[in-house]
Chains A and B, each alone.
Chain A
Amino acid sequence: AQSVAQPEDQVNVAEGNPLTVKCTYSVSGNPYLFWYVQYPNRGLQFLLKYITGDNLVKGSYGFEAEFNKSQTSFHLKKPSALVSDSALYFCAVRVPYGGATNKLIFGTGTLLAVQP
């Protein structure tokens, strides 16, 4: 069965320090992986995706993610955290369903708190 795990409910980091939000996945076949961010009372905003190619994927707002096939991980990173990065972050995997189906399986989310 396809699944995504985000082992940390919350990550705390000081502004200006690097941040990492962890994600591991379990899929059959090649994974399509995504990161989304959710601000309070808002929908999900797309940050970045890995389909194929370079293991380091760059996305919006200075975020990047590293795909590691051997460790089945797709950790989200940013070299220097901002207070405005504080939000709920979701890792997701696209389920190969056939045809046009675009089903995403989400992790439980990680709350990122950046202290000034």
Chain B
Amino acid sequence: ETGVTQSPTHLIKTRGQQVTLRCSSQSGHNTVSWYQQALGQGPQFIFQYYREEENGRGNFPPRFSGLQFPNYSSELNVNALELDDSALYLCASSSFEGRANTEAFFGQGTRLTVV
């Protein structure tokens, strides 16, 4: 098991609502990335946080936003939920060391269902 923990593990929300997912990174890691994995597909990069700032973003609309805290933990916020947002949301932590990142270690994911 990795040291990356996510909460909650499962969540059901209604279309139009807002949701916040949480992630605690592995000890010693300073970078957190978020991925969306729809059923039957590979994970898709949402964005990454480093030094509490967004540092790279995938093809997701602005209603997907996030935060990173001084202890390197992170939140993913999704506003105005749509049915297609139903997916497994994965958090990955890594450590940026000078010129390169270590490999990413993933949490167990949060399964979000939008009804």
Contacts and interface: CB of A to CB of B under 8 A. Distances in A.
> Would you call the interface of chain B mostly helix, strand, loop, or mixed?
strand
Interface of B: 2, 4, 6, 31, 33, 35, 41-45, 48, 50-51, 55-56, 58, 90, 92, 94, 96, 101, 103-109, 111
The 5 A-B residue pairs with the shortest CB-CB distance in the complex, in nearest-first order:
A106-B42, A101-B56, A100-B96, A102-B101, A43-B106
B90 to A, nearest CB: 6
Given A43-B108, A90-B43, A106-B42, A99 B90 contact: no
B109 A42 contact: yes
B40 to A, nearest CB: 8
Contact of B106 (A36, A99, A100): A36
- Of the four ranges (under 10, 10 to 19, 20 to 34, 35 or more), the interface on chain A belongs to 20 to 34
Interface of A: 34, 36, 41-46, 49, 90, 92, 94, 97, 99-109
